[in-house]
């Protein structure tokens, strides 16, 4: 099966290529970027499954046996490149946030529906075994109706992430910590309980001391359609956790789903859940569940490969994709509401994204 990876200046391009190379069903990969100079000097061209490296997007998309394309570009370029993928009749797997705004994502949704192609967003953290188990527990009623949700996602400070990067330029990135990393947590806050954030009150700030024009710190309070309430704190805050964009030690993450009968906590990005729920006599109501995972260089590890496999199966008419552009739209609308709240000092209603 042929795949394309579109965009060479993104921090995740290399790890996405590793994912495709780790999957036996992918036989060749085409690489593209609009910058011909970058195309000419990229070391990725020498990777074992790369069969084409070009600055001509039409050359990539007119391949009749190209099954899908991963769009992994600068955020201000993503929607336009994705539209060309869809127009060529190719299936689309888009790196988050998919577009600069909910309006751009809505346009892609409509285009994909007209073209009859599968279009998904790369929220591959959904495939993590802790997320799969937490979703099953919460939606089964094991912890009762939700009372509240708590989330935290801190990572290394801006100074360790190249402040001159396009990621810290609003015109190119569209936003800061919420759009780049906070979106993963916001997606899980929807996905695990199968609920939707309906109202947001937020503060955002730029506190790094670096010459950037996007928020590097954010604090949100929100309400779900079910009536549960929650909080989310995100920030480039860690001073002693290394540098770089693929740095397993560079995160402090926490997710908790608190119900009337118990709670489920994912206390880090490691493969362990803390569970408190009613159990049969003789068993412990408070317990840890650990999941073993093989080591993998893929984005999101072996579960990340499973995420891409589910997407590929959907392109072949076998089941549903792991995400849709509705998921990207939902998160975009929450972030836009948070930004409006921070500007106005008011709680903001979030437009509904699901039926």
What is the tens place of the pLDDT at every residue in 327-336? 999 999 999 9
What structural domains does the chain harbor? Answer: 2-117 (3.40.50.720), 125-315+329-349 (3.30.360.10)
Is the pLDDT reported for residue 355 higher than 60? no
pLDDT by residue (tens digit) across 252-305? Answer: 999 999 999 999 999 999 899 999 999 988 889 999 999 998 889 999 999 999
- In this prediction the pTM is 0.96
224-243 mean pLDDT: 96
Closest CA to 190 of 18, 27, 353, 35: 353
Report the distance separating Cα 309 and Cα 322, nearest Å.
Answer: 9
Q: How far apart are CA 288 and CA 301, in angstroms?
A: 22
With contact defined as beta carbons under 8 Å apart, do 98 and 73 qualify? no
Looking up tokens 């010459």, which residue turns up? Answer: 211
pLDDT digits (tens, 9 = 90+) for 117-155: 999 999 999 999 999 999 999 999 999 999 999 999 999
User: Do the Cβ atoms of 96 and 173 come closer than 8 Å?
Assistant: no
In whole angstroms, give the CA distance from residue 204 to residue 206.
7
Structure tokens of 226? Answer: 């079910």
Query: What radius of gyration, in Å, describes the C-alpha atoms of the chain?
Result: 20
Name the least confident of 31-35, 58-62, 291-295: 291-295
Confidence of residue 309 (pLDDT cuts 50, 70, 90): very high
């Amino acid at each position: 099966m042929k795949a394309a990876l579109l965009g060479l200046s993104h921090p995740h391009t290399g790890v996405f290529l590793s994912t495709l190379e780790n999957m036996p069903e992918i036989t060749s990969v085409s690489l593209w970027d609009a910058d011909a100079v970058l195309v000419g000097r990229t070391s990725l061209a020498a990777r074992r499954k790369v069969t084409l490296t070009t600055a001509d997007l039409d050359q990539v998309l007119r391949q009749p046996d190209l099954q899908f394309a991963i769009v992994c570009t600068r955020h201000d370029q993503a929607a336009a490149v994705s539209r060309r993928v869809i127009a060529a009749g190719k299936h689309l797997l888009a790196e988050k946030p998919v577009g600069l705004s909910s309006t751009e994502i809505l346009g892609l949704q409509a285009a994909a529906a007209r073209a009859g192609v599968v279009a998904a967003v790369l929220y591959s953290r959904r495939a993590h075994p802790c997320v799969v188990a937490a979703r099953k527990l919460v939606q089964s009623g094991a912890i009762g109706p939700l009372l509240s949700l708590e989330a935290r996602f801190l990572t290394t400070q801006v100074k360790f992430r190249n402040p001159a990067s396009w990621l810290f330029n609003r015109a190119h990135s569209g936003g800061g910590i919420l759009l780049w990393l906070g979106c993963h947590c916001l997606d899980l806050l929807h996905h695990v309980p199968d609920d939707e954030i309906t109202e947001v009150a937020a503060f955002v700030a730029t506190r790094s001391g670096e010459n950037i024009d996007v928020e590097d710190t954010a604090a949100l309070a929100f309400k779900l359609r079910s009536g549960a309430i929650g909080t989310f704190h995100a920030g480039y805050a860690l001073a002693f956790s290394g540098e770089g964009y693929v740095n397993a030690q560079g995160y402090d993450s926490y997710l908790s789903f608190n119900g009337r009968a118990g709670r489920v906590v994912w206390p880090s990005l490691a493969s362990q859940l803390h569970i408190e729920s009613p159990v049969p006599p003789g068993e412990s109501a408070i317990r840890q569940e650990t999941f073993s995972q093989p080591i993998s260089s893929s984005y999101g590890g072996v579960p990340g490969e499973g995420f891409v496999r589910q997407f590929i199966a959907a392109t072949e008419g076998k089941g549903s994709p792991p995400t849709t552009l509705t998921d990207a739209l939902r998160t975009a609308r929450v972030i836009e509401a948070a930004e409006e709240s921070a500007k106005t000092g008011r709680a903001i209603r979030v437009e509904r994204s699901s039926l």
